């Protein structure tokens, strides 16, 4: 049972730490380093995947799966897969050809510790292994469910989702003229699509009715945008010590963001409104959705 991993579900920091520990143990097993010269790519994959991130997406998988009586084994498989895809995106985003960042999760970035080619391969290795994990029989007894997970993650991570959002972002890099609609679409693809997959994964595993899954999609849409506004606020107001990554990059690059368009106060108001809207989508789930409610508040209160 999923709830067995949470000793105190009303205390979000403890619940986040407990689900992070469970998913990290599985990732540790999945990324066992083989003998042979290919060991280097596994070491680079482990370096980034085991770095101290929030493990927010795995948590969303576990919290959404807990609504539908899904087994812990199934939910952890999906949680590990989404964290692998997320980590791949961070490794590639930090490369000199993209964001050229030296610091991620409070540590030197993968390409700084290894080299660019190894970092590219580590990202590729994590992305492809995620689909191997989803397709594994441990993920769900019903092949149709596994197929739906593979297909939906491919859509969310690929050119119709995160990769597409990253492409728009790279093209808009020095464009301060993007309007709020364009930024919203960019961020829905770049950040929101993986958050949508994570939040809907429980409904897919639990074979929930389409209208129930839609509620989680709507919740994810709202917290995804709130998460991105919080990210823009951290870039504008946070410190490198708090966030574990470079800050003030957006303003330096002259980039249009939610903060540059709405202002600091306007962005905070908008983020709070999105969280309220997200909570509204959870009404029908009752107390069972309390962790999803708490995490909605957390995405805008976080300092890293
Ligand atoms: C390279 C295909 C490709 C995509 C990159 C997600 C992404 C697209 C880039 C990451 C850069 C970034 C700062 C995105 C904005 C929000 C975001 C996804 C932040 C990082 O996620 P967190 O805060 O990170 O959940 P941790 O380290 O806690 O897992």
* Reduced DSSP (H G I as helix, E B as strand, rest coil) percent helix, strand, coil of the chain, to 5: 75, 0, 25
Instruction: Give the per-residue pLDDT at 247.
Output: 67
Model's pTM, two decimal places?
0.94
Q: Is the dihedral of CA 42, 124, 25, 144 positive or negative?
A: negative
Task: Let me know: does 226 contact 271? Beta carbons within 8 Å.
Answer: yes
**Residues within 6 Å of ligand 1 by CB:** 53-54, 56, 86, 89-90, 92-93, 105, 162-163, 166, 190-191, 231
Cα of 298 to ligand 1 centre, how many Å? 17
Q: Does domain 6-301 have CATH number 1.10.600.10?
A: yes
Cα of 87 to ligand 1 centre, how many Å? 8
Cα 119 to chain center, whole Å?
Answer: 19
Mean pLDDT by 10 residues, the chain (304 residues): 89 96 98 97 98 97 97 98 98 96 95 98 98 98 98 98 96 83 94 98 98 98 95 86 70 82 93 97 96 95 79
Cα of 3 to ligand 1 centre, how many Å? 28
Q: Which atom of ligand 1 is least distant from the CA of 51?
A: 27
Instruction: Give the per-residue pLDDT at 246.
Output: 67
């Amino acid at each position: 049972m999923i709830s067995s991993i949470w000793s105190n579900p009303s205390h979000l920091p403890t619940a986040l730490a407990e689900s992070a520990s469970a998913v990290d143990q599985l990732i540790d097993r999945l990324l066992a380093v083989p003998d042979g010269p290919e060991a280097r790519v596994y070491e680079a994959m482990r370096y980034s995947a085991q770095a101290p991130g929030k493990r927010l997406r795995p948590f969303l998988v576990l919290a959404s799966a807990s609504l539908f009586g899904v087994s812990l084994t199934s939910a952890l498989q999906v949680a590990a897969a989404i964290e692998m895809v997320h980590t791949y995106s961070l490794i590639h985003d930090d490369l000199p050809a993209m964001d050229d960042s030296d610091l991620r999760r409070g540590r030197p970035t993968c390409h700084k510790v290894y080299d660019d080619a190894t970092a590219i391969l580590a990202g590729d290795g994590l992305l492809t292994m995620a689909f191997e994990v989803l397709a594994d029989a441990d993920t769900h007894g019903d092949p149709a469910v596994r197929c739906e997970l593979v297909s939906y993650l491919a859509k969310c991570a690929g050119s119709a989702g995160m990769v597409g959002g990253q492409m728009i972002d790279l093209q808009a890099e020095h464009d301060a003229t993007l309007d709020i609609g364009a930024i919203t679409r960019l961020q829905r693809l770049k950040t929101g699509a993986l958050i949508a997959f994570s939040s809907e994964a429980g409904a897919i595993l639990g074979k929930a009715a389409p209208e129930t899954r839609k509620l989680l999609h709507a919740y994810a849409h709202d917290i995804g945008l709130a998460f991105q506004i919080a990210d823009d606020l951290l870039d504008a107001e946070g410190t490198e010590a708090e966030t574990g990554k470079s800050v003030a990059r957006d303003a330096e690059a002259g980039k249009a963001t939610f903060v540059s368009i709405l202002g600091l106060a306007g962005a905070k108001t908008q983020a709070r409104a999105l969280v309220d809207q997200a909570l509204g989508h959870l009404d029908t789930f009752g107390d069972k959705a309390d962790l999803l409610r708490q995490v909605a508040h957390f995405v805008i209160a976080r300092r890293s």
